A and B are shown apart, each in its own frame.
Chain A
Amino acid sequence: MQTEFLLQIKDLKASIDNKEILKGLNLEVKPGEIHAIMGPNGSGKSTLANVLTGREIATVTAGTITFDGKNLLDMSPEERACEGIFLSFQYPIEIPGVSMVNFMKTAINEQRKHRGLEPLSASDFLRLMREKKELVEIDSALTNRSVNEGFSGGEKKKNEIFQMAMLEPRLALLDETDSGLDIDALRIVANGVNKIRRPDTSVIVITHYQRLLDYIVPDFVHVLYDGRIVRSGGPELALTLEERGYDWIKKEADVTEETWTTDRK
């Protein structure tokens, strides 16, 4: 059966060290849609990205996540990646001794194996590398090094987008890929994402700022506050947030919660 949604999150609750961080989160993403998730620091945005990719920092205590009709929570991180989920990390990891080339070759071939495909030949792989490097304007000097080792902040972010280009995910999560980038780097990264996208690629952009959304224009904007999506809207919501900040949302959300608790009594 073909589902309408690529990703469907229902009433998701997750805690870290018994402290509830996600408190009943709902989100539905169709193929090809771009969603932006905004919200103040500490509201749970990265935790959501971790839960989606299977990083065991947070424990899921309730709710379901369905990806392409399958139960995502049953899958290992590598299975999720093979199914087409990709995270551009807020803080990419340096891995000394593991070369970018070997890393990408292994990742691509493991994903191909998952899909029942033969490994790429050495020449096809090198051609692909070259093509994608141009696309995201990343220097060969970087791809010849160990993974992220000695990369600047901007280079690390570009490298995330390069990996996304290589792996061609169905759902890309960009966790503050824009933070720490100057305007040129931001443009390159954003254009990279746009060039990589196929019509059915879905993207969830986690960001604080409107400026990335000038390049990657979202279909929906959600505000995540204190573990819940407290408001959703179109691209204009991002502009309002840019002007007015988060305080009014916080107030509104806190009020709603109080009212709700009072009602229950």
Chain B
Amino acid sequence: MDYRPEVIERLTELWEGREAGILKGSPEVFNRYRSGAFSEFLSLGIPDRKNEAYKYTNLEKSFSYKYEKYFSPKPDDFREAERFHCEVEDLDVWNMVLLNGFFPRGDEGLAMLPGGIWVGSMRAAAKQFPSLVEKHYNKYAQNEKDGLVPLNTALATDGLFLYAPKNTVNTKPIQIVNLLQSAQDIFSQDRNLVVVEDGAQMSLLVCDHAISPQHYLTNTVTEVYVGRNARFEIIRVQNQHNDSGKITHTFIHQERDSFASSNNVTLHGGLVRNATWHRLNGENAETHSYGLFLADKHQHIANFVKVDHAAPNCNSTQLFKGVLDDNATGAFNGRIMVHKDAQKTNAYQSNNNIILSDSARMDTKPQLEIYADDVKCSHGATVGQLDENALFYLRSRGIDEREAKLMLMFGFAHDVIKNIPIEALRDRIDNLVLQRLRGELSRCASCAIQCN
């Protein structure tokens, strides 16, 4: 039976009570797009397997659950979050803690870091930088057949705002620890905006951690503008429990001579789907999309990537890897689109997966749409077991079978991790992955980054 009509009914009820629950206190620029977005959501619906981009991802379990709470936390809820402290040795960052995607101290929360970069809530940003927010908000998110993006536009009330004005450079990476903590089962929508203006540089680390055992579903939309000759790096570490659902849509829009890289490391999560869109809108831009996941039990991890080459002379890479055990399932859908004028495009895509059990399953699907003629594109996908010959080679030197398997899996994963641009973080994630592979990092009890 189709679970969706009932879910849509619940969401419609929310929508009808929008006066108090959604509109009040929200930025005007958010409210402006809501009605249109909600009707768009109603016409697109919740994506099902008939939708090419969700062909191997079943949202039913996460969406059919009756969540008790849909909106932002109350001030009291933040007390615990503010006590939370991420202590990674040698990881020198500007640290910020969010709760279920929301910034504490809602309206006032906006601060400038040394170096001139602004960090705060969308609500506060809409007051302090109205024209900037107006210029970029809802301009890069594409609803292309995915109802969850307009759902976010219709319902989100706040989120994170990051702004690097022209030629500013963040002196240290910014770390956002997003705690998932609630006394109730919660379905939340957060809406984030990152603006990196011409010549500016920003490095961002986002850690998602479930710290209470409730059911969660998060539907996150993040828009990123990367100006001319600007540089933007985002690393996401996702560590949630098996009853959590995390859906992210990240839209990275790049102007000429810019550089961007996205790295999604999924250590845990019941259902995780990361959609990353890279639009190369100006010449000579470079973009990288990386992803690594380790899944077991009944987890499902999906990565959707679209690299849109809209201008000539741009380079892009996609490198995604997965390790699947037990009954885990995974999906990779990687698209490269090269527009007619995007000559001299260099686009590379690779997806490799290791299956450790008979019942785990991985579906991988590359899609290339190329309308220019002077283009270098390559793609490859593999789904297989650990290499028996390599395993024997290690064992023949005295390394115990279990350890040898671990070394091979780690080597496989490290190939993605090595692209993380912050060294202390790279080492830390290497460690986390190793712990995860050893089965020591089962259910996360606190920030993965500070796990011992």
Contacts and interface: CB of A to CB of B under 8 A. Distances in A.
Nearest to A147: B393
Interface string B389-419: 1101111111111011001101111110000
A143 interface: no
Contacts of A223: none
B389 A107 contact: no
B243 to A, nearest CB: 32
A97 B414 contact: yes
A158 B357 CA distance: 36
A63 B440 CA distance: 43
Contacts of A98: 394, 407-408, 410-411
Interface in A108-141: 110-111, 114
Interface in A132-167: 146-147, 163, 167
A40 interface: no
B382 to A, nearest CB: 13
A97 B411 contact: yes
B398 A103 contact: no
Contacts of A54: 395-396
A195 interface: no
B398 A110 contact: yes
A92 B393 contact: yes
Given A103-B407, A106-B399, A95 B394 contact: yes
B411 A110 contact: no
A89 B394 CA distance: 12
Nearest to A112: B398
A102 interface: yes
A8 interface: no
Interface string B195-215: 000000000000000000000
Interface residues of A, number: 30
A106 B407 contact: yes
A233 interface: no
B384 to A, nearest CB: 14
A107 B397 CA distance: 6
A180 interface: no
A163 B399 CA distance: 13
A37 B411 CA distance: 36
B395 A78 contact: yes
A55 B407 CA distance: 19
B128 to A, nearest CB: 46
A86 B415 CA distance: 29
A167 B399 CA distance: 12
Contact of B398 (A89, A95, A97, A167): A167
Given A55-B392, A77-B392, A89-B393, A95 B408 contact: yes
A240 interface: no
A76 interface: yes
A22 interface: no
A29 B415 CA distance: 44
A107 B399 contact: yes
A17 B396 CA distance: 23
Nearest to B407: A98
A234 interface: no
A181 B312 CA distance: 47
Contacts of A114: 398
B330 to A, nearest CB: 19
Contacts of B413: 97
Contacts of A106: 399, 403, 407
Interface size range on B against A: 20 to 34
A53 B407 contact: no
Contact of B393 (A86, A95, A111): A95
A94 B389 CA distance: 9
Contact of A95 (B396, B401, B411): B411
Q: B390, B393, B408: which has the most chain A beta carbons within 10 Å?
A: B393
Contacts of B407: 98, 102-103, 106
Contacts of B393: 89, 92-93, 95, 147
B410 A103 contact: no
Contacts of B390: 93-95
Nearest to A82: B398
Contacts of A94: 390
A81 interface: yes
B411 A81 contact: no
A259 B275 CA distance: 74
Nearest to B414: A97
Interface string A49-86: 00001110000000000000000000011101110001
A144 to B, nearest CB: 14
A89 B412 CA distance: 23
A99 to B, nearest CB: 8
A52 to B, nearest CB: 10
Interface in B346-395: 387, 389-390, 392-395
A97 B394 contact: no
B411 A76 contact: no
Nearest to B400: A78
Given A93-B389, A103-B407, A106-B407, A81 B415 contact: no
Contact of B395 (A76, A89, A95): A76
A53 B396 contact: yes
Contacts of B396: 53-55, 77-78, 80-81, 86-87, 89
A42 interface: no
A114 B407 CA distance: 19
Given A92-B393, A110-B403, A78 B398 contact: yes
A76 B401 contact: yes
Interface in B78-104: none
Given A93-B393, A95-B390, A78 B411 contact: no
Contacts of A163: 397
Interface in B405-439: 407-408, 410-415
Contacts of B412: 97
10 contacts: A78-B395, A78-B401, A81-B395, A81-B397, A87-B396, A92-B393, A94-B390, A106-B403, A107-B394, A146-B411
Q: Which 7 A-B pairs have the closest CB atoms?
A: A97-B411, A81-B398, A107-B397, A98-B411, A77-B395, A93-B393, A111-B398
Given A77-B395, A89-B393, A106-B399, 16 more contacts: A53-B396, A81-B396, A81-B398, A81-B399, A82-B398, A86-B397, A93-B387, A95-B411, A97-B410, A97-B411, A97-B414, A98-B410, A102-B407, A111-B398, A114-B398, A167-B397
